[in-house]
Amino acid sequence: MRSFEQNQYLRFWFEALASSVCGEEPDLSARQMAIMLRIYLADGPHTVRGLTAVLAISKPAVTRALDQLADLEFIQRAKDPQDRRSVLINRTHAGEEFLNGFADIILSAKRKTELG
């Protein structure tokens, strides 16, 4: 059985997700969001190989998610000048804005859950 605290966290996560899917911003999958958060919360450089290792998911799954994030202009790929076989994954202003907005949604959901 879940504790009261666990239920509270699940409630504000639900509120955040429900708000995000009703909003005008893109609705990212859990995999896409995990990749975004890794790229934006951890210091780089980020590579497909590195994301695959950290998240324990396949290279094709990471590549598909990165393709979608690049289409949204949330990330940008660049050749690694040190290793031409490797591609670096870089942050973008649009990605930063998206995550700032999502963080605001989470804070709002947390306040809403705590109040009622």
pLDDT tens for 48-87 read 999 999 999 999 999 999 999 999 999 999 998 888 888 9
What pLDDT does 38 receive? 97
Q: Please say whether the dihedral angle defined by the alpha carbons of residues 54, 103, 18 and 112, taken in this order, is positive or negative.
A: positive
Domain spans of the chain, in order of start: 4-115
Q: If you average pLDDT over every residue of the chain, what do you get?
A: 91
Q: What is the mean pLDDT of residues 38-45?
A: 95
What pLDDT does 4 receive? 83
Q: Kindly state the percentage of the chain with pLDDT values over 70.
A: 99
- 37 contact partners, CB below 8 Å, separation of at least 6: 99
User: pLDDT grade, residue 116 (50/70/90)?
Assistant: low
pLDDT tens for 96-107 read 999 999 999 888
| In CATH, 4-115 is 1.10.10.10 | yes
